[in-house]
Amino acid sequence: AEELKIAVGAMEISDKTVGDVMTKIDDVFMLPDTTTLNTKTVAEILRMGYTRIPVYSGDRNNVVSLLFVKDLALLDPDDNFTIQTVCNYHQHALRFVLLDTPLRVMLEEFKKGDYHLAMVNAIVEHDDQDPSYELQGVVTLEDIVEEILQAEIVDE
Ligand code: ADP
């Protein structure tokens, strides 16, 4: 049955990690927190078609919040609010996971329900200082579901 194949697919994800299915950092649509939300920028955000947009301060490695496209619905473009102002108002939860997190673990996290997108970090070792985090991409529930369905199709 279809359900059984999907269950088999789900088991096959067990040796994969978040790093295998994430959207890589260079392909992530992010915006600086200083962006003014006027007619032009709002149109660009809508055109990209993403539900959630990581927001960074300074450089792209420093993601500080998430902007939800639905936050823009009641915004007046003439107010010229910055993304920072809108994000401070909504305060959506921002989660980080490590690149080598098993998909099984990530799926359980998402199933708990309070978030469906996580920022993906790698730990980078340095010779002369403490290890640091480096942003690698984003992972969503959709990426994992896709992987499960793909495993199912390959299986046939
Ligand atoms: P959306 O609702 O924005 O389409 P999904 O959770 O359905 O997001 O994910 C669809 C795909 O888009 C996934 O591969 C996910 O990693 C990717 N994705 C989600 N948000 C972004 C973003 N801001 N920039 C680039 N890719 C993204």
* pTM, two decimal places: 0.90
- Residue 42 has, within 13 A of its CA and on its CB side, a CA count of 17
**Burial bucket for residue 85 (CB in 10 Å: 0-12, 13-18, 19+):** middle
Q: What is the pLDDT of residue 74?
A: 85
Ligand 1 atom at minimal distance to the Cα of residue 22: 16
Ligand 1 center–CA 51 separation, angstroms: 7
- Three-state secondary structure call for residue 10: helix
Q: What is the pLDDT of residue 29?
A: 98
- Average pLDDT per 10 consecutive residues for the chain, totaling 156 residues: 65 81 98 97 96 97 97 91 97 96 92 91 93 96 88 59
Ligand 1 center–CA 106 separation, angstroms: 16
Ligand 1 center–CA 140 separation, angstroms: 7
Amino acid sitting at position 84 = Q
- Residue having the nearest C-alpha atom to atom 4 of ligand 1: 50
CB 124 within 8 A of CB 131: yes
**What region does 34 belong to: left with phi over 0, alpha with psi -120 to 50, or beta?**
alpha
Q: What is the pLDDT of residue 149?
A: 82
**Ligand 1 lining (C-beta closer than 6 Å):** 23, 27-29, 50-53, 138, 140, 142-143
